[in-house]
Chains A and B, each alone.
Chain A
Amino acid sequence: MSVRQGFLALLSHGPKHGYQLRAEFEARSGGTWPLNIGQAYTTLGRLERDGLIASVHDDDPEAPERYALTDAGRTEVESWWNSPVKRGAPARDELALKLALAVTTPGVDVRAVVDAQRAETLRGLQDYTRLKRSGRGREATEEDPNADLAWDLVLDALVFSAQAEMQWLDHVESRLARASRTRGGASAPAATRAPEAARRPEASR
């Protein structure tokens, strides 16, 4: 998604000022996608140039300029809703890379790496959960009746991705345990503690 698409979607509710678009965009992202006002106006300028929005005339000449979707803009938003978010090349995953290096580097206690990460990820998950429980979300307002739901869903997405990371760490641990059972893998502490047992052939599977 781009800021462009976000603005077009927000403008489906009706005309808005630049600073209003910026605030609503940031609120929807739970503050995870900050914009400065310059970026907001640059985006609006391009959208206007491309004929997707047009400024509306206000009776009050002092009022800040408001923008509305053109027909082309409405079509653009419509087709955006109707197309899935693309799964492109995966983003660089620092944790996956770190563990990949850990399992291939002799002398690293991979379980300790997993344990430390688990503690960190769980603490983060606790923070998000506390935030959810505190209900310190946005209040629903008349012009924004689903603001609290939107905020909850942004938080839930953070919660679910931390949960997925925890599950993956469990998976790493059980793969390590199996590897150390089947071939006395050098990376698992189980193997360092009981090398004979770990190499026993009947212990495999």
Chain B
Amino acid sequence: MTDAPTPQLSLRGLTRVYGEGPTRVDALTDIDLDVAPGELVAVMGPSGSGKTTLLNLAGGLDTPTRGSVLVDGDALEALTARQRAALRRRRIGYVFQDFNLIPSLTAAENVSLPLELDGLPPREARPLTTAALDDVGLSDRADRFPEQLSGGQRQRVAIARALVGPRRLILADEPTGALDSTTGEDVVALLRDRVDQGAAGLLVTHDSRYAAWADRTVFLRDGRVATSTGGRLGLEALITADTEGGV
């Protein structure tokens, strides 16, 4: 018990209510969730079930109605707006459902933005940016503007931006949405790699094929956890390339 790693992200009784009276929406109700370093958790659920709300709260982009969010032990609600912004820039990589690229900046400038906002000199930011773009297979598009890129390429720029530099918490909202099946798998593999190197990850997806890369999956329904899955069935033993018991 005592040697369990401190969760990188802890959600406690997390609740978000939008509006009031007849227009009140209980977007999220009483969510408890821990994500440890090295752990990737998938979040699934029907449209409107609260997935983006959950991610926004976890990333400090929105404030809960009740409950709390701890990132690496720091309660977000106890931080000043400035401290929260700094934590977001330094520790959290966020892939938005609608990419959120800045149209007047090139792909490379978009990717290095969080580093520069954080005061990293361009000399140090540049190699990190190049590496991140390389990871998503877009080094040859570094100087293009978002409108000169395809939907899938824009999405990959957004992913590079979320993964650039040392991010310890990666929050990805449908990062595979505009990608074909093989590219989508590459993107999830990239997330998985980062997590295997010690980051904690939350991956929102509609596609179980991508959720299957996670260690656990949480299903939301009407803002609550409907089911939560982890562990294995052991089907690996039932199919095998070696038929003679180890050729």
Contacts and interface: CB of A to CB of B under 8 A. Distances in A.
Interface string B21-62: 000000000000000000000000010000000000000000
A88 B238 CA distance: 27
B243 A167 contact: no
A14 B227 CA distance: 53
B236 A127 contact: yes
B213 A124 contact: no
B229 A23 contact: no
The main secondary structure of chain A at its interface with chain B is helix
A155 B230 CA distance: 20
Contacts of A163: 207-209
A129 B207 CA distance: 13
A173 B229 CA distance: 18
A32 B189 CA distance: 27
Interface in A85-135: 115-116, 118-131, 133
Nearest to A159: B209
The main secondary structure of chain B at its interface with chain A is loop
B212 A31 contact: no
A170 B236 CA distance: 25
Interface residues of A, number: 42
Given A119-B229, A126-B232, A26 B243 contact: yes
Interface string B210-247: 01111001010000001101111111101111111001
B227 A115 contact: yes
Contacts of B232: 123, 126-127, 130
Contacts of A173: 46
B241 A151 contact: yes
B227 A119 contact: yes
Interface of B: 46, 189, 192, 206-209, 211-214, 217, 219, 226-227, 229-236, 238-244, 247
A123 B238 contact: no
B238 A23 contact: no
23 contacts: A23-B243, A27-B241, A30-B239, A31-B241, A32-B239, A115-B227, A119-B227, A120-B233, A122-B208, A123-B232, A125-B208, A125-B211, A126-B214, A129-B209, A130-B236, A138-B242, A147-B241, A151-B241, A158-B239, A159-B209, A162-B208, A163-B209, A166-B208
Contacts of B207: 163
B227 A118 contact: yes
B235 to A, nearest CB: 4
A119 to B, nearest CB: 4
A131 B236 contact: yes
Interface centre among A23, A123, A155 (most CB of B within 10 A): A123
A174 B46 contact: yes
Interface in A56-86: none
Interface centre among B207, B229, B239, B242 (most CB of A within 10 A): B239
A127 B234 contact: yes
A50 B33 CA distance: 65
Contacts of A130: 232, 236
Interface string A16-33: 000000010011001110
B241 A126 contact: no
A158 B239 CA distance: 10
A137 B227 CA distance: 32
Contacts of B217: 122
A123 B236 contact: no
A136 interface: yes
Contacts of B238: 31
Contacts of B226: 115
Contact of A126 (B212, B227, B244): B212
B239 to A, nearest CB: 4
Given A119-B227, A126-B232, A130-B232, 19 more contacts: A27-B241, A27-B243, A30-B240, A31-B243, A120-B233, A122-B211, A123-B232, A123-B233, A125-B209, A127-B232, A127-B235, A127-B236, A129-B209, A130-B236, A133-B189, A159-B209, A160-B209, A162-B212, A174-B46
B14 to A, nearest CB: 21
Given A23-B243, A32-B239, A118 B219 contact: yes
